[in-house]
Each structure stands twice: as structure tokens, then as C-alpha cells.
Amino acid sequence: MKTISFRNADKTFLFPNKTGLKQFIEQLFKKERKALVELTYVFCSDEYLLGINKDFLQHDFYTDIITFDLSETPSKIIGEIYVSLERIKDNASELNTSLSDETLRVLFHGALHLCGYKDKKKADIAIMRNKEDYYLGLYKKGLVD
């Protein structure tokens, strides 16, 4: 059974269509031919995520998202994704996009990491961005299958 949950750490975030978004994220994994078992998104502040970045990744900088793959086997994906709401808001402003679109992009970005996509090299970043755009477009068109 697939389980996707949205939790709040030190920030609260409410979704207008939480059920639909969960169903769409399940479809994203299906389209990527990955077996999702459990996925938890945790919404937090910059400071909260900075602490995780320092403690677990030894990085001393702000980021919008950190994805942890907790899967015991590659065939059954279990993940935890931490999302800074403050970073998303700042990114949306800098990129001149809506807060809604940037939030969705980041949520899909984390899911795509669990599907095996990387974003450290220039070529990998281009692939990741194309996938984010693809899923953002599908979501906005209401295509879930």
C-alpha cells in the first residue's frame, strides 16, 4: 500500500487539493516505473532545514529541499523529503514564478530524486529540469493517469 503524507515541523503548510496531489505523486512514481511504498514530506523553516543540512550532509548553507532515500531495497521506495517553505517563497520571487508552481516543482523534484534523477552535473540538472517541467505541466492540466 502506498502512503504519502504531509507533515509540518516548525512551519505549517496547507494544500488546496491534498488528495489530488498525493494521487498525482503516486502516478509520477508509476510513470517512472518505480514502486513507491512510503513517502513523507516535512515542511519546515530555513533554520530547521539548515540544521539537517549541517548534521546529516555537513553542508553549511540554506537549501530548499533535502531528500532522504530510506529504502532497504531499490525495488521498494521509502523516502523522507524536507522542504523549506521560506526557500520556496524566496525562489518563487527570484524566478518570477507563482508560489504554487514553485512548491509543486520542489515536491516533484524530491520525488524525482527518489526515482534516481541527480542534479549535481550540468547535464543531470537539464534532465531534472525537463522532468520537473513535464510533471508540472501534467499536474496543471489535471492529467493524473
Half-sphere exposure for 5 (CA within 13 Å, toward CB): 12
**pLDDT on residue 75:** 83
What count of residues does the chain have?
145
**Domain spans, the chain:** 3-141
CATH 1.10.3720.10 fits 3-141, yes or no: no
Using only C-alpha atoms, the chain has a radius of gyration, in whole angstroms, of 14
Inter-helix orientation angle 85-95/99-114, to 10°: 120
pLDDT in tens, the chain (145 residues): 569 999 999 988 887 888 999 999 999 999 999 999 999 999 999 999 999 999 998 889 899 999 999 999 888 999 999 999 999 999 999 999 999 999 999 999 999 999 999 999 999 999 999 999 999 999 998 866 5
Q: What pLDDT shows up at residue 144? A: 60
pTM confidence score: 0.93
Distance between CA atoms of residues 98 and 77, nearest Å: 30
Which pLDDT does position 143 carry in this prediction? Answer: 65
CB atoms within 10 A of CB 7: 12
Helices (H), 6-121: 18-31, 46-57, 85-95, 99-114
Residue 40 has a pLDDT of 97
Query: What gap in Å lies between CA 126 and CA 33, rounded to an integer?
Result: 21
Residue 74's pLDDT is 81
Question: Would you give the DSSP letter of residue 120?
Answer: S
